[in-house]
Amino acid sequence: MENDDIDIRIEDPALYTHLALILDRPKVRKEVSLLRKKWANKKPGNNIGFYKDIATFLNTNNLSSGLTSVIEEAILKGYVSRHPRVTRLVIPRDMLQDIIQLEMETLDNEDYEYAILTPMEATEEEVTQEFRYMKQTVKKSLDQDYPPYEMKQPVSDTISNIKRDREWYLQHEKGESYLSIAQEVVKDKEKAYQYKDSVRKAIKQYEKKLNTLHK
């Protein structure tokens, strides 16, 4: 089964790159294609089975639950048009103490994401202050425990480059040769033959990013 391409309709270069290097991983593309086929003739709506499938997908691919709406849109529509990076959750009060008690165990297992608990009484200033502190804590933790290159959100110099490199990568994945791709850009045969090396380098660089980021 051929893996379906996922169109990314986002203009912000950093966010576009961030999502591309997640969605273009072969395992991710394959599983999104399978889920799209599974739910193609159904209306997921509030179907709990659909969201369980997404949760399982995120867990097996070591992806944040913050990507739920991204994967949902990719499955249902074949494209991604937004990525809300802030998620609001309503947590029953009787669960909060259990979550707090689990904090140290979670940290010891290194399987966690940072969140801010804000009761309605909290002021905007208090939330902002805590957010800044959390960002500093996360940055310090990553600098100490992980290679900076692997953990920082990837960015591109220009959106045209990342879009171009991604398009070439997906074309090559479908069997198109470096020369064939080069000839679509440079019509002169001799110049296209020389340009194919630039195409190859761009594709290899994109593949390298896929293999080193978001593991």
pLDDT in tens, 14-65: 889 889 999 999 999 999 999 999 998 787 777 889 999 999 999 999 888 8
Residue 11 binned pLDDT confidence (cut-offs 50, 70, 90): confident
β-sheet bridge partners, residue 204: none
Q: Residue 118's pLDDT is what?
A: 80
Taking residue 18's Cβ as centre, other Cβ atoms within 10 Å add up to 21
Q: pLDDT tens digits for 119-175?
A: 788 898 998 898 888 888 776 665 554 444 333 444 444 556 889 999 999 999 999
β-sheet bridge partners, residue 7: 79
Name which of 172, 173, 174 is nearest 199 in CA terms. 172
**Of all residues in the chain, what percent are helix, strand and coil, respectively (each to 5)?**
65, 0, 35
Q: Residue 182's pLDDT is what?
A: 95
Round to whole Å and give the CA distance between 54 and 71: 7
Q: Is the pTM of this model over 0.75?
A: no
Q: Where are the domains of the chain?
A: 7-80, 93-146, 159-212
Q: Residue 149's pLDDT is what?
A: 35
Q: Residue 9's pLDDT is what?
A: 95
Round to whole Å and give the CA distance between 136 and 92: 29
Taking 70 as the threshold, does the pLDDT of residue 104 lie above it? no
Contact 96, 23 (CB under 8 A): no
Contact 111, 64 (CB under 8 A): no
Q: Residues 82-96: what's their mean pLDDT?
A: 76
Round to whole Å and give the CA distance between 203 and 165: 6
Q: What is the DSSP string of 89-105?
A: ----HHHHHHHHHHHHH
Round to whole Å and give the CA distance between 97 and 204: 49
Taking 60 as the threshold, does the pLDDT of residue 192 lie above it? yes
Taking 90 as the threshold, does the pLDDT of residue 105 lie above it? no
Q: Residue 30's pLDDT is what?
A: 94
Contact 116, 127 (CB under 8 A): yes
Residue 211 binned pLDDT confidence (cut-offs 50, 70, 90): confident
